[in-house]
């Protein structure tokens, strides 16, 4: 039995992210002529799904209109029968594909900075028994789309909403089956497609839906939001407003401008070990520490998936420096390290290829120690 949430705890009723206001206002201004199919696309970490679930709640809310001619700009009321159904996860007029994307407490893109314990306790060993840290996305098959047809076809006095998350994972057959629905829209049916990879969608699908400008992010609003979040939640330590501004700017660059990804990165455990990564690598390079000893050290401090992410970030800036570009991590002063300046791009790319191979081996349930030992050997050889 699913736990019922208070309206202020549910992603359906969360405050609108500040950079999404214009997109929200635009959609609600067209409440009488909303398209049958809408596409919410953009890189991960911009808050697409937070926006979609909030919009779903408004579409289904019994009190979505303040007056006959004016929609409730604040979103769903959170108290009507429809909103209560959403909170309990049992709304009869909502279908979600895949079912695992149905929100329970909060959207996967809207979360507080990750807090991971150090070391490899018994609980963390069990949790991190393989290299894989995130469940692999599964394809959306034609049968999945066909199972939606009764829901889409049956009559209803109100609106019915179908959310297809990770729409880029539809097989060709599934996409073609969906096309028939998009070509023959029924009154009151809304199909909301969500994807991090819009280029993977079939052109015929994209031509039959209207994309919502959810990826238009204003830098000033994002910067203010991240700064306020850091201050309120004490995500990082800083002494001056200038230092805070520098950290926010750097985090946005490292996350390709995705604000929620930047917040999550700043609060992650691996991000605090960037300077340590360089020191351990330098010790390996001159023979002051063995790769086995380094492997043991990292196993006690970071889960393997976090260490892989840390290594990828460091090698990214090593590559930039090798190409004569400025590092993105300005706080580490990487340009001052002669050892980094002497690295060849080929050697860096070889290590990055090794990391990709280790990530692929996760599907074979490789134990973290084996992955760590292999990766540290590669880092020592850099």
Q: What percent of the chain has pLDDT over 90?
A: 65
Are 281 and 366 contained in the same domain? Answer: yes
Rounded to a whole number, what is the distance in angstroms from the first to the last CA of the chain?
52
pLDDT score at 241:
93
pTM of the model: 0.81
Are 172 and 45 contained in the same domain? Answer: yes
Residue 287 exposure: Cα atoms within 13 Å on the Cβ side: 0
How many C-beta atoms lie closer than 10 Å to residue 57's C-beta?
27
pLDDT score at 9:
60
pLDDT score at 152:
84
Higher pLDDT, 171 or 134: 171
Are 51 and 187 contained in the same domain? Answer: yes
Rounded to whole angstroms, how far apart are CA atoms 356 and 264? Answer: 23
The average pLDDT across 24-36 equals 88
Rounded to whole angstroms, how far apart are CA atoms 258 and 253? Answer: 9
Q: Domain tally for the chain?
A: 3
Q: Is residue 357 part of a domain?
A: yes
Are 57 and 93 contained in the same domain? Answer: yes
Is 50 exceeded by the pLDDT of residue 211? yes
Comparing CA positions, the residue from 162, 212, 211, 152 lying closest to residue 187 is: 152
Provide the angle, in degrees to the nearest 10, between the axes of the packed helices 274-285 and 304-322.
Answer: 70
Residue 372 tokens read as 């760590």
Phi then psi for residue 40, to 5 deg, are: -110, 105
Are 225 and 363 contained in the same domain? Answer: no
Highest mean pLDDT (candidates 30-39, 45-54, 232-241, 336-345): 45-54
Are 236 and 180 contained in the same domain? Answer: no
Phi then psi for residue 281, to 5 deg, are: -60, -40
CA 362 to centroid of chain Cα atoms = 20
Are 52 and 201 contained in the same domain? Answer: yes
Q: Are 349 and 339 in contact (CB under 8 A)?
A: no
Rounded to whole angstroms, how far apart are CA atoms 199 and 42? Answer: 10
Which of helix, strand or coil describes residue 347? helix
Q: Is residue 113 part of a domain?
A: no
pLDDT score at 122:
36
Are 168 and 93 contained in the same domain? Answer: yes
Are 38 and 180 contained in the same domain? Answer: yes
Are 43 and 178 contained in the same domain? Answer: yes
Which strands sit side by side in the sheet containing 189-195, from one edge to the other? 94-97, 160-164, 189-195, 37-41, 210-212
Is 70 exceeded by the pLDDT of residue 121? no
Q: Is residue 115 part of a domain?
A: no
Residue 282 tokens read as 């330098």
Burial 64-83 (b: 16+ CB within 10 A, else e): beeeeeebbeebbbbeeebb
Is 90 exceeded by the pLDDT of residue 239? no
Q: Is residue 132 part of a domain?
A: no
Residue 112 tokens read as 């507080």
pLDDT in tens, 317-376: 999 999 999 999 999 988 888 888 889 999 999 999 999 999 988 767 778 999 999 999
pLDDT score at 8:
47
pLDDT in tens, 43-80: 999 999 999 999 999 999 999 887 556 677 789 999 99
Q: Is residue 128 part of a domain?
A: no
Among 250, 268, 286, the domain-final residue is 268
The residue behind tokens 């996409």 is: 175
pLDDT in tens, 280-308: 999 999 999 999 999 999 999 999 999 99
Q: Is residue 130 part of a domain?
A: no
Are 181 and 201 contained in the same domain? Answer: yes
Q: Is residue 362 part of a domain?
A: yes
In which domain, by residue range, is 252 found? Answer: 219-268
pLDDT in tens, 97-112: 998 888 864 434 444 3
Query: What CATH number has the domain bearing residue 142?
Result: 3.40.50.300
Q: What percent of the chain has pLDDT over 70?
A: 87
SS3 helix, strand, coil % of the chain, rounded to 5? 55, 10, 40
- DSSP-assigned letter for residue 193: E
pLDDT band of 7, cuts 50, 70, 90: very low
Are 156 and 303 contained in the same domain? Answer: no
Residue 8 exposure: Cα atoms within 13 Å on the Cβ side: 0
């Amino acid at each position: 039995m699913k736990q019922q949430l208070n309206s202020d705890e549910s992603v359906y009723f969360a405050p609108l992210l500040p950079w999404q206001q214009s997109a929200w206002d635009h959609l609600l201004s067209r409440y009488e002529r909303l398209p049958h199919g809408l596409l919410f696309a953009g890189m991960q970490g911009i808050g697409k799904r937070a926006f979609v679930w909030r919009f779903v709640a408004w579409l289904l809310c019994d009190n979505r209109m303040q007056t006959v001619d004016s929609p409730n700009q604040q979103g769903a009321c959170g108290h009507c029968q429809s909103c209560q159904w959403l909170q309990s996860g049992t709304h009869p007029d909502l279908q979600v594909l895949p079912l695992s994307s149905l929100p329970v407490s909060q959207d996967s893109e809207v979360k507080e900075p990750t807090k991971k314990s150090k070391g490899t306790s018994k609980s963390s060993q069990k949790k991190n028994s393989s290299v894989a840290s995130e469940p692999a996305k599964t394809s959306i098959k034609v049968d999945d789309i066909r199972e939606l047809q009764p829901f889409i076809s049956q009559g209803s006095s109100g609106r019915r909403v179908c959310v297809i998350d990770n729409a880029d994972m539809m097989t060709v057959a599934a996409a073609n089956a969906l096309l028939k629905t998009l070509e023959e829209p029924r009154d009151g049916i809304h199909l909301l497609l969500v994807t991090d990879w819009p280029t993977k969608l079939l052109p015929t699908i994209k031509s039959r839906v209207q994309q919502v400008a959810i990826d238009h992010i204003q830098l000033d609003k994002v910067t203010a939001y991240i700064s306020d979040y850091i201050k309120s939640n004490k995500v990082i330590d800083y002494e001056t407003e200038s230092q805070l501004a520098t950290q926010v700017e750097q985090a946005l660059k490292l996350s390709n401008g995705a604000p929620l990804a930047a917040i999550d990165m700043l609060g992650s455990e691996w991000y605090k070990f960037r300077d340590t990564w360089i020191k351990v690598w330098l010790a390996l390079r001159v023979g002051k520490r063995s790769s086995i000893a380094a492997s043991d050290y990292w196993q006690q401090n970071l889960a393997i998936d976090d260490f892989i992410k840390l290594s990828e970030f460091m090698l990214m800036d090593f590559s930039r420096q090798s190409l004569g570009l400025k590092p993105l991590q300005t706080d580490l002063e990487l340009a001052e390290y002669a050892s980094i300046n002497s690295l060849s791009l080929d050697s860096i790319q070889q290590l990055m290829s090794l990391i990709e191979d280790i990530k692929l081996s996760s599907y074979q349930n490789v134990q973290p120690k084996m992955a760590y030992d292999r990766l540290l050997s590669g880092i020592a050889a850099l």
